[in-house]
Amino acid sequence: MKIGVVISEGPYTHQAADTGYHFVKAALAKGHEVPRVFFYHDGVNVATRLSVPPQDERNIQKNWTELAKEHGIDMVVCIAAAQRRGLLDENEAERQGKDANNIAEGFRISGLGQLIEMAIQTDRLVMFGD
């Protein structure tokens, strides 16, 4: 089964990003496909490469990056939600006249069309967060 996943809450203010991560790991272990994860609303904050959690806590961004790399998951960050929260990739930073970018490896910024496409191309769509 192909499963699309949406994460819509921030990584350290809500359990959605962490629970979604463990759900995806379990689904992959059971032989399901997870071709894309879409980060929406505050969930885009998972994608910042500038978060530095304490060493004895989980690193949610790193966990997602490693999982995506290992399993070829397309991790898409909503462009509108990202811009509102100051999350930019190199192209967006340049386009917006900003002097830095902060998107982590393995994530890419795109629009809601990617969410719609994921919903069409998967058998199930699972959302974590409000």
- Around Cβ 35, how many Cβ atoms within 10 Å? 16
Cβ neighbours for 78, distance < 8 A, ≥ 6 positions apart: 38, 39, 40, 41, 44, 109, 110, 111, 112, 115
The tokens describing 55, both together, are 């060493």
Q: Return left, alpha or beta for 8; rule: phi > 0 is left, psi -120 to 50 is alpha, else beta.
A: alpha
Tell me the three state secondary structure of residue 85: coil
Tell me the three state secondary structure of residue 107: strand
Catalytic residue flag (residue 78): yes
- Choosing from 24, 77, 78, 88, the catalytic residue is 78
Would you name the residues annotated as active-site residues? 78
